[in-house]
Amino acid sequence: MTGAAAETGTVAEFGAMVSRQVGRAVPHDGYMFTGLDPLTGALCLFTRHNAYSSPAARRLLTGEEVEADPFPFEYLVAGPRRVAVVDAESPRHRHSARAHEVMVGEGIRSELRIALVDGRSAWGR
């Protein structure tokens, strides 16, 4: 993926390239791709396609959630797996305001999360 990433010119092209690469193994309808500065943890890039609306994305990215995130990005970076799924129809998330107010309200039934990590540095979420 590194060679393909070097050929992208914009954040949108980079997000589309990552989506195509992931799509080889996990078919999906859309994506929301964010990148973090590895030193400060600050959001440094954002792109999406066929994903959350701007108000919903802002709510998710700024922490304006009703409840704690079931799979915070830090968990994926430090945990045993770099991938997690939030499924609005799962019994695990049936009482989740995040799943029902944000996801289902946006017509999204499940959310695949992947932490892209290089060594010990987190590069996106």
Residue 100 pLDDT grade (very low, low, confident, very high; cuts 50, 70, 90): confident
Q: What is the pLDDT of residue 5?
A: 66
Share of the chain above pLDDT 70, in %: 81
Task: Provide long-range contacts, Cβ within 8 A and 24+ apart, for 95-101.
Answer: 96/67, 96/70, 97/65, 97/66, 97/67, 98/60, 98/65, 98/66, 98/67, 98/69, 98/70, 101/66
Please check whether residue 63 is in contact with residue 27, taking contact to mean a CB–CB distance below 8 angstroms.
no
pLDDT tens string 53-87: 988 888 777 766 556 666 677 777 777 888 888 88
Q: What is the pLDDT of residue 16?
A: 92
Q: Is 122 helix (H, G, I), strand (E, B) or coil?
A: strand
Nearest to 83 by CA among 69, 94, 73, 98: 73
Q: What is the pLDDT of residue 37?
A: 76
Please check whether residue 66 is in contact with residue 101, taking contact to mean a CB–CB distance below 8 angstroms.
yes
Arithmetic mean of pLDDT over the chain: 79
- Ramachandran assignment for 107, one of left (phi > 0), alpha (psi -120 to 50 degrees), beta (any other): left
